[in-house]
Structure 1
Amino acid sequence: MNIPAQAPLHLLHTSAVGTLATHARQPEGFPYPSVLPFAPDARHRPTILVSRLAEHTHNLHADPRAGFLVVDAPDGDVLNGQRVTLLGTFEPVDPAPELVARYLRYHPDAERYLVLGDFTFWTMTLDRLRYIGGFGAMGWLGGDELDPLPALESDQEETLIGEFTDAFFNRSGYQLIGVDRYGADLRKDGLRKRFPFDSGMPDRETLHVALEDCMRRQTD
């Protein structure tokens, strides 16, 4: 195994869409892939917003086991790009205000689906994952190996976003949409950008310093 530190985690914050593979009910036994947007939760696990009428939603109700593929190949060279395949189970989650707010920061256009009342949130619990980052950089990880640090609480994240949002936008035009112990997620002109920290930040003080460095680098 030769995986750069936190590479799978950063990849899950870089891409806005993934491929969900569920177990088809009809014809039974076949994998059923579909592409859809997702947002990483506080543990970096994919959270999806799906219609109750969608085939993949019916499949998940019948069998919650699924695969989820995320790819980043901006130059079109998929074989030399990064990809991670997640294996685990999807479960429906309550649309708590903090969950909805976080998802909408990543996907503002999703608000029009929420007003329909037909869409529900599901989050993936990871069992295993396989990361490939190009030739020689690949391997398997257990789901609990993705992030060994305690997750950042939603109120802590929202406080940091509140403190830095105006400064980021005024100085660089970026919107700060997410913060975790390993990096910051930014958006500008509809495109997402991941800013990885040098290492995991264990407390609020180190996170504050890392965000100040992030902001400074976006304006240099």
Structure 2
Amino acid sequence: MKPDPETALHLLHSLRYGTLATRSIQLPDYPFPTALPFVPDEKHCPVFLLSRLAEHTKNIHTDPRAGFLVADMAEKQVLENPRMTLLGDIATINMSHELQSRFLRYQPEAEQYMALADFAFYRLTPQKIRYIGGFAQMGWLEQPDWENVDVLSLEEETALIQDLLGELPPGVRLLGLDRYGMDMERLGKRERQKFPSTLRSADQIAATVKRLLASL
């Protein structure tokens, strides 16, 4: 079964944390897994804020190849829950103002670390993705599958979020928008609201988000 890229990116957007596995320099060739917060960028690639003193960061600078596991742990039966592993390369990135603002909407606690000199932003660019939707529901996504999804630019997202601030119900924060759905926080809990279809224009996104917010 070849999974739908949209299904995979919806899972990525619904979660706050994952497990990053890098290649250990302390015990060469062994994987070194660690739990980390992340934020998907506008191209649905995980972005991390990492300390250069951390073991996983030292590993990355020796070998950028890594795996990143995200899993829906809402139910107790982990083997029946959606999860996926992204295999790819991690590199430092220069954050635009828009991407930095997006990161802080999703992970506001990161602001205290951004002021420290030893922290920097890194992005995982997937080369291959293993998606498991549940028992006997699994398949691979290739790099072109991920690269070819429709992208909402950061500039468009920033303008849309600014325009929609007045539409937000009490207790709701709008975290991010893309052409497939919106990410929000309601009463402190992360939620992913899927759009009924891929939306091609900013006007379509704005109208759909307003309807979704009005229904909350």
User: Normalization by structure 1: what TM-score?
Assistant: 0.93
- Residue in 2 that maps onto 1:45: 45
Shift of 1:41: 0.3
Residue aligned with 1:146, SS: helix
Deviations 1:77-136 (A, max 9, x none): 211111010000001001322221111000001111111122100001110001111123
Tell me the percent identity: 41
In 2: Cα distance, 1:54 partner to 1:5 partner = 32
What's the CA shift for 1:3? 2.8
**Structure 2: gaps spanning 5 or more residues:** none
CA shift, 1:211, in A, is 0.9
* Contact 1:129–1:141 (CA under 8 A) maintained in structure 2: yes
- Name the stretch that deviates more: 204-213 or 181-190: 204-213
Cα distance in 2 for partners of 1:166, 1:78 equals: 39
Alignment of 1:111-122 (within 5 A): 111-122=111-122
Give the equivalent residue in structure 1 for 2:76. 76
Structure 2 residue aligned with 1:203: 201
In the alignment, the residues of structure 2 paired with residue 5 and residue 194 of structure 1 have an alpha-carbon distance, to the nearest angstrom, of 16
- CA distance in 2 between counterparts of 1:166 and 1:136 reads 44
Runs of 4+ in 1 over 2 A off after TM superposition: 2-5, 146-150
State the shift of 1:13 in Å: 0.4
**Alpha carbons 1:43, 1:147 under 8 Å: kept:** yes
Q: What residue identity is the alignment partner of 1:152?
A: L
Instruction: Tell me, in whole angstroms, the C-alpha distance in 1 between the residues paired with 2:145 and 2:2.
Output: 14
**Residue in 1 that maps onto 2:129:** 129
1:180 aligned partner, one-letter code? D
Q: Which residue of 2 aligns with 1:3?
A: 3
Q: CA deviation at 1:150?
A: 3.6
- Opposite residue 71 of structure 1, the aligned amino acid is A
TM-score, reference length from structure 2: 0.95
Corresponding letter in the other structure for 1:114: M
- Write the mapping of 1:49-198 to structure 2, written as runs, cut at 5 A: 49-146=49-146, 148-168=148-168, 171-198=169-196
- Secondary structure in structure 2 of the residue aligned to 1:199: coil
Separation in 2 of the partners of 1:149 and 1:6? 8
Structure 1, unmatched stretches of 5+, are none
The offset of 1:146, in angstroms, is: 2.7
